[in-house]
Structure 1
Amino acid sequence: MPLIVKDYVWEETEAQVFITVPLKGVKANKVDILSSEEYLKASYPPYIFECLLVAPVDDVAGTAQVGNGAVLFRLNKKEPGLWGKLQSADAENKELMRAKREEAIDKTQQKLQEALKEKDERKREHEKLAIQEMMKIEDTERCRIEKRKQEERDQATAELEAWKETQRRLAEEEKGRLLKEKREQEKAKQKEDKERKRRKGANIFMEAADEMGGNQKRQSGKIEVSFTERAFPTPVRESTKPMEDEWLQKQAEARQVADLQDEDLTEEERNPQFLRDKGNSFFAAGNYQAAVNAYTHALRLNPKMHSLYSNRAACHLKLRNLFKCIEDSSKAIDLLSPPVPQNAASRVKAIVRRGTAFCQLELYVEGLQDYEAALKIEPNNEKLKQDAEKIRQIIQGSAET
């Protein structure tokens, strides 16, 4: 049974009530306080203080302080006036006291739930504000990046236009030079024809004179023979002439450009060599997607240029488009046949790019096969040897695991 505390002290004014309850040697951290508008309780086992107030108080504005060996209640009356006594006449009614106690407990729990709900709402509001702030920061950063990209695009466009203007100027100068050269050649030809006619007329008179004189002269002539220089430095006895001839024929076909009927394209944009060089410039500047676009347009004009496929494969490798890299590298390798010394370096580049894409897809066996194929072409390439050895170690490590 708890011990009821009755030696409490209380005072009142017109607006407030002050109640001091002694703790009787109990530590302050063991005090449990419960209050409502009409009910007060301070429990600190084995003692308990309960009070059913004469009139209601403002439970929200009231305070309870624990310290200095006592619990001090400071309560604000709802209606000003002097009570004359603290306890209600119904304080002896145990059923009523229990009902007031349960009502106070329910209100306290309700207040705790409302406080938790308010705390959660404040937390969600803070999180919402934090998310909004992060979105603002991201939008600012996105705008900055987009602005920088636009500046780079504008710069690349300006450089392209300047390059086009330079090419147009050079083309005009070349055109003027060719016209001048053609006029000079025509003048020289006219002069030569005139001289030939003069000599021919003179020869006719000489032949007529010889016939009249009965003198028959035998004329001697001179035939000049020129030999076409071989396109390969190897001697005929050491070369594979059919393969070399096939390669030369494929190169000649690769130089043929398709005629695209598009009025929006300039003369330079119909030139695959120009587009390839421009793609190389974009690649060197790190603008790999622009380089892919340039090479793709060039391939519409000339789908037999192996360098376009190989260069586009390098771009796809940078952009992590690994399957496209493998596809373009394979097309370049197909166009680089038959294998002759003149296309060896290009074959090595295409094979190594495909092998690198295989390795990045963790297809190390296929990648090693390509690196070994490249080493057969350039057996003294130390970098290829080192890379092939690293791939072998990866494959062996996977097999041991």
Structure 2
Amino acid sequence: MPLIVKDYSWTQTETLVYINVPLKGVKAGKVDLFSTDEYLKVNFPPFLFEVILYAPIDDNKSVAKIGNGVVIFTLYKKEESIWESLALMNVDKETLQKKRENAVLKAQEKAVTDTEAKAIKKRENEKYALETMMKLEDEERKRIEEMKEQERRRATEELEQWKEKQRKEEEEKKAQQRREIQKLEHEKKKKKDEMKTYSKSVSECPRKRTTAKTGRKSEEISLPAPRSAGSIKIQFTPRVFPTALRESRVAEEEAWLKKQADARRAVNADVSELKDLKEEERNPDWLKEKGKKLFATQNYLAAVNAYNLAIQLNHKLPILYLNRAACHLKLRNLHKAIEDSSKALDLLTPPVADNADARAKAHIRRGTAFCELELYAEGLQDYQAALKIDPRNETVNADAEKISKIIQGTVPDSL
């Protein structure tokens, strides 16, 4: 049989009712509160406080606080008035039981309504989240398609410009050849005409001739003596190519010769640079270890120089490009980091178990550089490629999930 609490206190205004119920030493965790718009109950065994309110209250606005050994109710009246008492007077047990049952039914109905409302709200939230995610994915897909289309148009324009340039150069070469051929033909024709004129003048001037009227011989016509024999020295312009100048393509030959000269200068420069190095500095493995030590001391620029020299000595070692990519990441040379990681992946072929760790590092470093450039879709692809190589790497898995959330717009754009 519970003990009824009677030493409670209450006050009111026209809109509010305040009730203080002492807990009599019972801990707050053992207090059970139950209320409707007409009924109020506080159960903290072995004590019980219940009341059928004098008038209805707004149960949704009303609140209860437990602390310092007391329960404080703040009840909002549905109608502004001053109550004559807190509870209805002269309520028999049957009416009290009926009020209790009605309160339980209302509480159950409210719980069902709240549950349905929460379910509806949850479905609406899930639908909104799905629609938002689909919208973000569509926008990202469109952005990527637009980038691809812009790149395709740019490449097409550059190709068309190159073709037009080649066509103009070809036309210019053909026009130059035609002009040279016409010039040669003109010179040949001119010489031929001169020979014809000379031959005709010789044939029309005999050494002797007679007059028709007198029959006497005219005086002899003197002709120039034959030319003495001699030699003419001809000097040809020195040429690298065996073809004649009129048959060659001068622009292409000059471009080829320039490339050969540049290549020779580069080789000579490299040889002169290597001559100044010590014996151990010509060893790529020694330079690789030196780069690692410089990286460990945070001297990233010096480490890059060491790897540059090592790659100059041997450009087939993928570890050199992989380590230099790490240095470029520290120096914020993001595009160079992407380039070195890609070069390392090209050299790490075929993909086998021995180079799996290096391939995973290359994907992670390239993916990090992409994300730093806010190219999250490309970065996610590299992280996923690294997870295919090492699926148990929890750090890479967590980073991949974070990048995916950034793409979906659920977290700030930062890694």
**TM superposition score category, shorter chain reference:** 0.3 to 0.5
**TM-score, L = length of structure 2:** 0.41
